[in-house]
Amino acid sequence: MTAETLSRLVQVGHAPTAQKLAQNIERIETLGQRLMAAFAERNLPNPGVEGPGADLYMTAAAGFVKTLTEQPAKMIGTQVSYWGETLANYARAQQALAQGQLTAPDDGSPADKRFANPLWQSHPYFNLVKKQYLTNARALKEAAQGLELPDEVARRRVTWLTNQIVDMMAPTNFLATNPDALEKAIETEGESLVRGLENLVRDVEQNGGEMVVTLADRGAFTVGENIGTAPGSVAHRTDLYELIQYAPTTDTVHAMPLIIFPPWINKFYILDLKPQNSLIRWLVEQGHTLFVVSWRNPTSDFAELGMEDYIGAYLDAMDRVRDLTGQRQLNAVGYCIAGTTLSLTLALLNQRGDDRVNAATLFTTLTDFSEQGEFTSFLQEDFVAGIAEEVQRHGLMRAQLMARTMSFLRANDLVWGPAIRSYMMGETPPAFDLLFWNGDSTNLPGRMALQYLRGLCQQNAFAGEGFELLGHKLRLSDVDVPLCAIACESDHIAPWKDCWRGVAQMGSRDKTFILSQSGHIAGIVNPPSKKKYGHYLSNHGFGEGAETWREKASFADGSWWPHWGEWLAERAGPMVAARHPEEGLEPAPGRYVHDRAA
């Protein structure tokens, strides 16, 4: 906009608007320069982790040619149906406009929270855009499902890629076809778009040239101040972990101590976000002497750490707990990948004749990877080879790659939706503790990541011929301690049937399985006070498959915590005087939890 135009706006009484517009243009120019500079800082891209390898496209192309050759009528029918529906959408919109009606034709589209704005229903332009998008999406998905593909892995990969394309091309992801963003821009005289550009520049600058949307207001939370505040002290520290002992809140406690191994893919304070949903506080209130491991966020110096080093840390932490409490045995909990590693540790202890673990609990833990579910696309050799290249470059599977991979399992909720709110609506990220934790990702040591991906996930060695570690060949059948496993009904990271299948193969004679409602986090962080999600229990055993177990199970309202608490109390020994942590190295939550991934 020229100075002459601005002057003309001032003369006709729009001085505030003209001044604001001039300021916004100046801000946009400055932000544009910063954005280009930030993008220039990006490392050389690694094609292996940017998208599927060429083999997937070749497989899809071969499937298309095969289907066209063998079933031409089917392919032609699909095309005719698609173009017929497209023309019908256009004709209905044209008819409404020709009649001078700025209203859309009747719309029987299924409910979709992306299209909540009434204009998607009432305005002929937006309604046409929405209907055509849904038509395109349906056509793409049906075409992908109709391809003649060589195996189920190829079908899952093609389906996954198709769904990613469909989600990415939603009209809500583009300013010109997003009524919410356009309304906000008009309402704020363009200020929302400038704020959105500021948010984009901030994210690109903070992530080394990568566009990673911030999910939560990082200034709203400080670990140890308003989240992760359960009182305790760091009793022990190594280069890899800190061991935190929590202060008792009862006069007596169970004799047998309890140690929790959280996943090192994220940080342990998911178990202590706030007092009302803190599993850590709840366990202390049940009379357990509780220890929790806080893992170090690895740097490139940790590149050569492997699964054996983490198992060594498990054993070291257990030794320290036994020394501090004077108890020969303890109970242990492993969450997600830490549950997988706890299972390996239990198998190792069994082979060594070491009975230090009295009973174990597994939260959302995979040990049999014969079904890879939604991770199928990420566990094929093209992607794993890309990760291996990342490891060679950086010594790590960096937090940014791990977070992006997890986010694209739920792209609309964790990628496109937050990007729309931040970059197009100009909104400040929400002050949401769970999303804050989700964004506080960690690196993985390169050697450990490849051992896990190749040995456990791709080769499924633990459930098969045996996973070789520390001079032993470890198998699921070696796990023989009393066991309680909790899985979550809608968990997309560790599907409950896959969790069940691994537990079914373990050698323990005393096995309990609990199926919680909800997902990987909400199903576990489910305090009794909320009365939100129920759970399923069954005495049917593990002999007839997961579906039969589920059919025979009974439903119980509310949290599974009390049921597990009873199971744990029966295996935790008599009550003794409460054990108070010594002053230790520093107060909980310790030092390592504050390390941010570079």
Residues with a known catalytic role: 336
Q: For residues 373 and 490, is the Cβ–Cβ distance under 8 A?
A: no
Helices and strands in the chain, H and E counts:
22, 16
Q: For residues 427 and 421, is the Cβ–Cβ distance under 8 A?
A: yes
The number of C-alpha atoms within 13 Å of 61 and in the hemisphere containing its C-beta is: 5
- The angle formed by the CA atoms of residues 253, 479 and 447, to the nearest 5 degrees, is 100
Nearest to 463 by CA among 329, 352, 541, 370: 370
Q: For residues 268 and 276, is the Cβ–Cβ distance under 8 A?
A: no
Question: Which residue reads 């992006």 in tokens?
Answer: 404
Q: Which residues contact 413 (CB under 8 A, 6 or more apart)?
A: none
Q: What are the tokens at 47?
A: 């094609």
Q: For residues 352 and 344, is the Cβ–Cβ distance under 8 A?
A: no
> End-to-end distance of the chain based on CA atoms, in angstroms?
41
State how far the alpha carbon of 38 is from the alpha carbons of 214, 347, 416, in Å: 16, 48, 21
Rounded CA separation 204/43 (Å): 12
Total Cβ atoms within 10 A of residue 105: 16
The number of C-alpha atoms within 13 Å of 478 and in the hemisphere containing its C-beta is: 25
Nearest to 306 by CA among 402, 442, 450: 450
Q: For residues 337 and 364, is the Cβ–Cβ distance under 8 A?
A: no
Total Cβ atoms within 10 A of residue 555: 10
| One-letter amino acid for residue 577 of the chain | A
Rounded CA separation 264/462 (Å): 20
DSSP letter at 587? Answer: B
Q: What are the tokens at 418?
A: 């937050």
Question: Which residue reads 């982790």 in tokens?
Answer: 49
Rounded CA separation 53/57 (Å): 7
Q: Which residues contact 327 (CB under 8 A, 6 or more apart)?
A: 255, 256, 257, 321
Secondary-structure breakdown of the chain: helix, strand, coil percentages, each rounded to the nearest 5? 55, 10, 35
Q: Which helix (H) or strand (E) holds 466?
A: none
Q: Which helix (H) or strand (E) holds 16?
A: helix 15-40
